[in-house]
Structure 1
Amino acid sequence: MTWLALRQFRTAAYATTAALAVILALLAATGVGLRDRYSALRPACGSGGPECSVVAQAFFRENRSAWLAAIALVLVVPALVGTFWGAPLVAREVETGTHFVAWNQSTTRRHWLLVKLRVLSLAAMLTAALCTAAVSWWSSPLDEVAIGDFPLMDPLMFAARGVAPVAYALFAFVLGVTVGMLVRRTTAAMAATVALLITAQVLFPVLVRPHLAAPVETTTEISDHRSDGFTVERVGPDSAALLPGSSGAWFLSSTIVDPSGTVVDSIPVSASGPCVSPVNQDRAACFAEMGELGYQFQVRYQPLSHFWPMQARESAVYVGLSLALAGLCLWRVRRNLT
């Protein structure tokens, strides 16, 4: 039965292998040059400072489109697996009537489905793993210089790195099979699978991911010199914002509080002090005045140290959902789908 499943899957396997080969070759060919150019930036940075930031940002802007395309590639692989592998698996059999033959042989329909799920699930996870590993290697120089705008814990980056994309691929495939079994029309099942996957990818980072690990809650000073990787930016003559900077953290909330702990929108700085100067002038003195008045940042965030624990927990959630859906499919296939 495993041999039969592999034989029926061979067309998709050949197409996937060819696409992966092209992608891996392209990433390998361009990745070496990308890493060489990044290595050449280090002497220009010297001991760091604003000039280093300017060079790094120029390097990132030069390759930003390709970097975003690489992220999109990792994110789209699970959707393709669920749509083109999962949704038609049962729906096409029922729609064309071939399930009458396939499910009336010496092999039970439950065993038929179990073998299909096992073989294609492994293929889906392997495809996602290879694609994610290749993109992560290619993107690593750009990830380092993009950390200020795209922290590793940011929802977009988090979903395209680590082991989570492998779990997404497994979930997408089994979800597609489940939808196909319930809808029993291939085109409708494919469309519904895409819609459900997009919904899951939008809602999960908002409703579930922030709670996979206890966020860090802290109150920190308004200062131009920070040692924890955060940066402070002026957003007006009487207000400032705390940014992840080089910490790679995911900010859940960041507000300014007065000395009593009350959240405020602005700080009553002096009308003739350093904060009335144009933005980027007397920056340190302005922040010093805000701090002397007793105003601080109150922030909740997921630090970079939570990346791998949250990756493991999110993957476990998706694997658990996949197993539950697979159980539903195995139960449902025993019923008469005609």
Structure 2
Amino acid sequence: MKGSLWLAWRQQRVLLLCAAAVLAAAALLAVHHRSAMLDALRSGLYDHCAPGPLHCTRPEDGLPLTLDVAPLKLLGALVMVLPVLIGMFWGAPLLGRDRELGTHRMVLAQGVSRWQWFTARFALAAVGTTLLSGGLVLLFRWWREPAADRSYGVFWYEATALTGSGPSAVAAALFGLAAGTLAGLLARRVLSAMAWTLLATAVTAVLVQWSHHARLLVPPRRYVSQGWAPKPPMGEKWSTGDYGLLTASGRADSVLSCAFPSGRELRACMTEHGYTARFYRANPPGDYWAFQWTDTVLLGGLALLLVAASALLLRRRV
């Protein structure tokens, strides 16, 4: 290791060691709590619990049976905020610190081109970001697996699982790094770059979560039951909360038009108003990967655009 890459390592080694320490601490936490989770599941206390979102209760007193999944959700929350942290504390100073202090002039005077100066720093940071975010994602998935999509565990559509357990989390972390790098290149002060990075990454995270709940990019499916037959079980699907009734012509009305769960009242109401079927809208568990790859393409594409913008602005800003 020599030249610009050696200098990049010297400047980023503390951050890389911090990333390794975070990953090691998360691994120890996952091993400890997953072992306790497996011990609880092997006790037989949860053997009668059916899959799905309905709460499982203890036979003797009817109290809900729950596992201690708070640490698991905490790890998922860390993965969710990782793009903000990486963007502010890794991306913003990546070029911004040298520009603020003027030390980049000394580096460029040694025969290092602007492109080498940028590439070495960003490439090393991108590798560290990928390893950290990817490692945390794998730990989350491994830890969650014994109680995945159970009433006492964590469902695939919960924010910590949907955002923090797949390739989209790595793309989001790289987006945060790219946003911080561009902000550090544009701003005159690192603190200003950190503030702009916080704003950009936080707004993007909010928009991604909104798109999930609005089903903007992954539309739900409609599940229909003819007549007053029981509706298809919800199971592990992610409901939109949209329930309704269908007429013979296909018109969809709110479920409140016949607000009866079943029985003679429901039958009489549907007959009176000409309803022939009931429906609800939900995303099946298989849509998890649709959400993941949609977010990965979106956030990864934004990251590439920001990196390209940084590369094009090097000559003007450095």
TM-score range (shorter-chain normalised) is 0.7 to 0.9
Query: Residue type of the partner of 1:187?
Result: L
Measure how far apart 1:327 and its partner are. Answer: 0.7
Other-structure match for 2:284: 303
Where 1:184 maps in the other structure, the secondary structure is: coil
Q: Which of 24, 34, 38 is the aligned partner of 2:37?
A: 34
Other-structure match for 1:256: 244
Other-structure match for 1:179: 183
Distance 1:100 1:137 in 2: 47
Length-normalised TM-score, structure 2: 0.82
Query: Residue type of the partner of 2:29?
Result: L
1:186-215 per-position Cα deviation (integer Å, ceiling 9, x unaligned): 112112212211111111243488344454
Other-structure match for 1:117: 122
Distance 2:99 2:155 in 1: 46
Q: Are residues 307 and 286 of structure 1, via their aligned partners in 2, closer, same or farther at CA, if it must alter by over 3 Å?
A: farther
Q: Are residues 219 and 13 of structure 1, via their aligned partners in 2, closer, same or farther at CA, if it must alter by over 3 Å?
A: same
Establish whether residue 324 from structure 1 lines up as the match of residue 305 from structure 2.
yes
Contact 1:212 1:313 in 2 (8 A): yes
Other-structure match for 1:189: 193
**Percent sequence identity over aligned pairs:** 23
Q: Are residues 5 and 42 of structure 1, via their aligned partners in 2, closer, same or farther at CA, if it must alter by over 3 Å?
A: same
Aligned residue pairs, count: 306
Distance 2:7 2:70 in 1: 42
Contact 2:92 2:180 in 1 (8 A): yes
Query: Residue type of the partner of 1:23?
Result: A
1:72-116 per-position Cα deviation (integer Å, ceiling 9, x unaligned): 122122221111110111111111121221233211112210121
Q: Are residues 214 and 199 of structure 1, via their aligned partners in 2, closer, same or farther at CA, if it must alter by over 3 Å?
A: same
Q: Are residues 223 and 10 of structure 1, via their aligned partners in 2, closer, same or farther at CA, if it must alter by over 3 Å?
A: farther
Measure how far apart 1:120 and its partner are. Answer: 0.8
Measure how far apart 1:303 and its partner are. Answer: 2.1
Distance 1:111 1:76 in 2: 30
Length-normalised TM-score, structure 1: 0.78
Contact 1:152 1:248 in 2 (8 A): no
Where 2:87 maps in the other structure, the secondary structure is: helix
The root-mean-square deviation of aligned C-alpha atoms, in Å, is 3.3
Distance 2:314 2:54 in 1: 64
Measure how far apart 1:143 and its partner are. Answer: 3.0
Other-structure match for 1:335: 316
Establish whether residue 247 from structure 1 lines up as the match of residue 250 from structure 2.
no
Where 2:56 maps in the other structure, the secondary structure is: helix
1:283-336 per-position Cα deviation (integer Å, ceiling 9, x unaligned): 653785478543754444332212223312321221111111111101111114
Other-structure match for 2:93: 88
